Amino acid sequence: MSLLLQRLKGGLHDRALQQLYRRRKSLSSPQGALISVDGKSLLNFSSNDYLGLANHPDLAHRASASLKRFGFGAGASHLVSGHSDLHRELEESLARLTGRDRALLFSSGFAANLAVQQVLLRKGDAVFHDRLNHASLLDGAQLSGARLYRFAHNDLAHLKQRLQGADAEGKLIAVDAVYSMDGDLAPLAELASIAKREGALLMADDAHGFGVLGESGAGSAEHWGLDQQQLPILMGTLGKAIGSYGAFIAGSEELIEGLIQFARPYIYTTALPASVAAASLAGLELLQKEPERRTKLHSLVAYFRGAANELGLPLMPSGTAIQPLLLGSSEIALKVAEAISAQGIYVPAIRPPTVPANSARLRITITADHELEHIDRLLDVLAEQLSNLVG
């Protein structure tokens, strides 16, 4: 066996010993409050399908209708012959909804975050990241050639210190608008003020806020009342609250044209199928036609937090659909997840390196597909199992 594969084998062995080995589960059902996992029916508190749109008939119908017109595969990149009328319509709809000049589609949020930093940053620049930023932001910064500065989570004083201590030509501040494993919000209004004062650009990854936050569901920029000048770079995903797939960057004419011309993850990637764009358009229409989905979601989150606090469950502070139950030990997190699965509830155990050391947790996500009786069942089982296993 080659040295490279020997090292890989050793890494796999170490990960298993540390209770950090990841295993996939196979679904035989659509997303929803109830799913079938490995042949077992489970109450689902693991999905990012926050508004319950992933299995909505409108999305399936629009995608199906587009297949008759465009077929399935896009066949080429956007810059060759893969950019359809539906892609153009989706980008225009996203720009209108977010209040930006333009929007540009990407195959994933990961690709979008790589692209922005690769295009804007170069050697001699500096990029400033919250320590809990998503891995895609971190990888994008490391590949950009700029110097990476990380600041303590939501610690604005530490950010200011890092900004003032950096000798750099250009500066970019990049944060998660909603932190994917903690569920709390970045203080975007204050970050916008700091960025303006320091001559830095501000970028927000709104993967978990787009569709959920804001009066119209336009996301964190709307929630904080930030326009394009205050928040110049907005990334959102379509595979969570919108129920489809893909991502976008929204911003100025110059930003979008720059990405089209220079972003390698955009230029050298086959376009999303037109059917995916059709489904996304249907999701955006439902977002605006059915605001009661957001209202219900926020009501369920408030109900869950109130009852969980009364039970003394170790919830982390979060007002979003992401409700982490902090357990610390990876071994304990796995045991609790397995125990509640045996009781018919699926909540994943999240362990390092996805989260910092000694902060393993159950990442509970609530969706508009849930009902109060689902929440009550989850609370009862959690209280029982945590009492048995944690004491």
φ/ψ (deg, to 5) at 178: -125, 125
Q: CA-to-CA distance for 321 and 10, rounded, in angstroms?
A: 37
Q: CA-to-CA distance for 33 and 18, rounded, in angstroms?
A: 32
Residue 112's nearest CA partner among 304, 282, 223, 248 is 248
Tokens representing residue 60 in the block:
């399936």
180 is known as an active-site residue? yes
Q: CA-to-CA distance for 357 and 164, rounded, in angstroms?
A: 29
Q: What order of strands is seen across the sheet that includes strand 360-365?
A: 322-328, 360-365, 349-350
Of 129, 208, 223, 335, the catalytic one is: 208
Cβ distance 120 to 171 under 8 Å? no
Tokens representing residue 263 in the block:
């972003």
Query: 112: burial class by Cβ within 10 Å (0-12, 13-18, 19+)?
Result: buried
Of 56, 78, 129, 240, the catalytic one is: 240
Tokens representing residue 310 in the block:
């009364």
Torsion, Cα 44 49 52 54, to 10 degrees, reads -110
Q: CA-to-CA distance for 313 and 336, rounded, in angstroms?
A: 13
240 is known as an active-site residue? yes
46 is known as an active-site residue? no
Q: CA-to-CA distance for 6 and 12, rounded, in angstroms?
A: 10
Of 180, 244, 330, 359, the catalytic one is: 180
Query: For residue 324, what are the CA distances in angstroms to 43, 346, 349, 372?
Result: 17, 14, 10, 19
The catalytic residues are 180, 208, 240
